Amino acid sequence: MTDKLRIATRKSQLALWQAEHVSALLREKHPSLAIKLVPLLTQGDRIQDRSLAAIGGKGLFIKELEVAIEDLRADIAVHSMKDVPAELPPGLVIAAVLKRADPRDALITRSGAQRLEDLPRNACVGTSSLRRQAQIRALRPDLRIEALRGNVDTRLRKLEAGGMDAIILACAGLIRLGLESRITARLDPLVCLPAVTQGVIGIESRANDARTLDLLRPLEDPDTRKVMLAERAFAARLGGSCQSPIAAYATLEGGRIRIDGLVAEPDGSRLLRDSSSGSAENPAALGRQLAERMLAAGAGPLLERLRAG
């Protein structure tokens, strides 16, 4: 009997690319495996006229996929890990993570300006990310920020229509869609610290599904898992949400992890930034340790006020 696997995925171009990419990797490892995509429309995809903060957060992009796994309509779901909340539903796990792609943010300009610093005074920049907004405004308080929702193609068309001077997207998504040539500049993490787990693809499954866990095991990248655990633990301890401009970026070298973290006022008037490094044996502890330091430095009241607001 042919072995089968069903993959729940969003219907967006990027989500389908990610699901097809995982399918190809699985077929390479398991040639007899028959794979079927189960495309689903999520609440986050349905609502395009409001910010994520206003409609309840990034988890709205994956809830329907998780329900499909729980209801046995799918075996796995493929996610951009930056869309995955800190707490998973009981009985579900991130069974495998792929090797991380470029985690940086991409600046795309109409004028050809190569840096944020080169944009004209009072230029309009499109992004719906409070994390990006805060860091851009800290660097260039004069810039006007305009909300930007929709898939990658939609966002690029909005830039081309002329209402904005520049937009900021994730490098990883543009590269995966074959649009790397559209990137004007890759923003250094010192300028714009990436979102937690940006560039990481994760595969979610039922924790008790031993057969599926075995199929996924060859896809796991241990180094990416370590930096992901550090970044997610940092955000979880801070209670990060779409209403909270939180960023973190961890790197692994020689058995040690360095994690940089940031908490900011959305208007860029205050950026709290710190870093920590230590053994890669317990990445989550390192992320929590950095979060505790930032809470002690004043991040707690800032985040509490943003959540209340």
- The catalytic site residues sit at 83
Give CA–CA dist 33/48, Å, rounded. Answer: 36
Scan for tokens 């696997």, then name that residue.
5
DSSP secondary-structure letter at 151? -
CA dihedral 227→233→236→240, nearest 10 degrees, is -40
DSSP secondary-structure letter at 269? S
Scan for tokens 């779409």, then name that residue.
242
Q: List the beta strands (DSSP E) in 81-190.
A: 92-97, 105-109, 124-126, 144-146, 166-170, 185-186
Give CA–CA dist 231/242, Å, rounded. Answer: 16
Q: Is 288 left (phi over 0), alpha (psi -120 to 50) or beta?
A: alpha
Q: Pairing mode, if any, of strands 124-126 and 144-146?
A: parallel
Tell me if residue 281 falls in helix, strand or coil.
coil
DSSP secondary-structure letter at 55? H
CB 69 within 8 A of CB 205: yes
Helix, strand, coil tally for the chain in percent (to 5): 40, 25, 35
Helices assigned H by DSSP within 161-204: 171-176
